[in-house]
Structure 1
Amino acid sequence: MSIAETMIPPQAPPPAPPRPYTLARFFGSVALGAWLAFGVGIFLTIVDGWDPEKFSRYGPSFLSGLGVTLLLVISSIPMGAVLSFPVALGRMSKNRFWSWIAYIYVYFFRGTPLIAQLFLVYYGLGSFRPQLESIGLWWFFRDAWNCALFTFTLNTAAYQAEILRGAIESVPRGQHEGAAALGLPERIAFFKVILPQAMIVALRPYGNEIILMIKGSAIVAIVTVFDLMGETRRAFSRTFDFQMYVWAAVLYLLIVEFLRNIWAWIEARLTRHLKR
């Protein structure tokens, strides 16, 4: 024991000063209380109006619609990712022609509502049935599911292209110069040095895009695709019980929460070397 410890015994640190109860904390507490009351109210409503007969009758339909929703998102996201790569390269191209083509594509699909795009494909292309039949594409566009998949793929490709472009441009210029100093060909430097770093930056925006696609997929019910929302609308039209929409909201919430946790785990796993 040192002389200093003998003369001055160890003492606990002083308590932290109390935080002032500001107006922001007051409104935050009110908002939190309102959300808690809303959640409790929804829970009590479900418990009070629980009908086992309706659940056993429409539960399988909800699960079937949930499968359609997941299939639509799982199919459109990878195809959109493939399409987004050349679009992102076109946006970064020094060739004005390809740059403008990519810009117009991204500008249109990001600047117009998804439901308008779906109507343009489903109802608009139906006006060109003779032309589509002549080139052998009517079999594809006559089906509502195919139109929804086609529209969602084009839409998410535009958003993913901007995510990818921003991520690539966020990689420091020194990485490009370092790869060139090592004598790496430009293509190898892009795929081995630049793109892996860009994908880490783009990981969280990609997760947000998937979540938005899951929630946006509800609009396909309008064009007779019986996804989760389509089955919900059909069940409500037969029962006039608003709890059908509560069940759908809970299922959407569970999907998003599950995906959020999975994506957080993936991000933590891939970026563990960046944490000290």
Structure 2
Amino acid sequence: MLEFIEKFSPMLLSGAWMTIKITVVSVVIAAILALPMSILRIQKSAVCRVPVQVFISFFRGTPLIAQLFLVYYGSGQFRPFLMEMGLWQFFRDPMNCALLTFTLNSLAYQTEIMRGAIQSVDAGEIEAAKSMGMNNSLLYRHIVLPLAYRIAFPALGNECILMLKGGAVASVITVMDLMGQTRRAFSQTFDISTYFLAALMYLVITTSFVIAWRYAERYLYRHQIQRSPNKPVLQTATN
């Protein structure tokens, strides 16, 4: 076992780093786009709302692996068009296809999380801000968004964890993330402990993220923490 770890640990560590990079990049890009998408989602105008609803329904209602195949293999059906547009170099790289798919998938979930958080903001606080003469820009910046992000924070942590674990499907299109490197190592050894070691690495990464997110939650809710140990007030991210 020690010889196995010594031989394949660099390979698995490289895959783990790739998994972390894919997750962080896709989740961060999705987080940036989720806010304007969620604002469009709650508009009364059907022109603004319906396209976002269709997008969310598709990416939340279909398997991640099917979305990955549609982007990676489906783009090949439009190769002449993509070459004319100068996009073929992007879509021919499985890493880019995985990033695009995971970003869109996470965007759908984060948009719904933020939509629910925005609509959960106390109407009384909004009315009080309007009575003070705040315009919509100030209202969102100083009242709605700070409160919405506090409400959404635990759910956003869970979405990051789900994307971290769900991203293992990237290995089916030859992305050498942790699962891809694990499959490669297993093909050379046929030793089932390869997958056991990969599972432990996923567990370490996930647990580290949960601990970091929990500390971030405690900081965010530091003014609301009750002194009584029998009354927990934090809803922390879990795996």
**Alignment length, in residue pairs?**
226
Distance in 2 of aligned mates of 1:85 and 1:121: 24
1:8-43 deviation line (CA, Å, top 9, x unaligned):
xxxxxxxxxxxxxxxxxxxxxxxxxxxxxxxxxxxx
When normalised by structure 1's length, the TM-score is 0.81
1:79-112 deviation line (CA, Å, top 9, x unaligned):
1112212221111011111110010000000000
Alignment of 1:1-276 (within 5 A): 51-276=1-226
* TM-aligned CA deviation for residue 275 of structure 1: 2.4
Q: Secondary structure at the match of 2:223?
A: helix
Distance in 1 of aligned mates of 2:168 and 2:81: 30
Q: Secondary structure at the match of 2:191?
A: coil
Letter in 2 for 1:176: I
1:50-74 deviation line (CA, Å, top 9, x unaligned):
x222111111000000010000001
Structure 1's unaligned 5+ residue stretches are 1-50
Distance in 1 of aligned mates of 2:15 and 2:21: 10
Please provide the CA RMSD for this pair.
Answer: 0.7
Distance in 2 of aligned mates of 1:79 and 1:270: 22
Q: Secondary structure at the match of 1:274?
A: coil
Letter in 2 for 1:152: F
* TM-aligned CA deviation for residue 126 of structure 1: 1.0
Distance in 2 of aligned mates of 1:255 and 1:53: 23
Distance in 2 of aligned mates of 1:264 and 1:86: 26
* TM-aligned CA deviation for residue 272 of structure 1: 1.1
* TM-aligned CA deviation for residue 170 of structure 1: 0.6
Letter in 2 for 1:141: F
Segment of structure 1 superposing worse, 207-216 or 83-92? 83-92
Letter in 2 for 1:196: P
1:185-224 deviation line (CA, Å, top 9, x unaligned):
1111111111101101100001000000110110000000
* TM-aligned CA deviation for residue 256 of structure 1: 0.9
Share of identical aligned residues, percent? 46
Which 4+ stretches in 1 moved above 4 angstroms?
none
Letter in 2 for 1:155: N
Distance in 2 of aligned mates of 1:143 and 1:199: 34
1:115-151 deviation line (CA, Å, top 9, x unaligned):
0000000000111111100010001000000000000
Q: Secondary structure at the match of 1:120?
A: helix
Distance in 2 of aligned mates of 1:145 and 1:251: 21
Letter in 1 for 2:143: V
- When Rg is computed on C-alpha atoms for both structures, the one with the higher figure is 1
Structure with more contact order per residue of length (Cα contacts < 8 Å, sep ≥ 6) = 2
Distance in 2 of aligned mates of 1:171 and 1:161: 16
Structure 2's unaligned 5+ residue stretches are 227-239
Distance in 1 of aligned mates of 2:225 and 2:6: 48
Q: Secondary structure at the match of 2:73?
A: helix
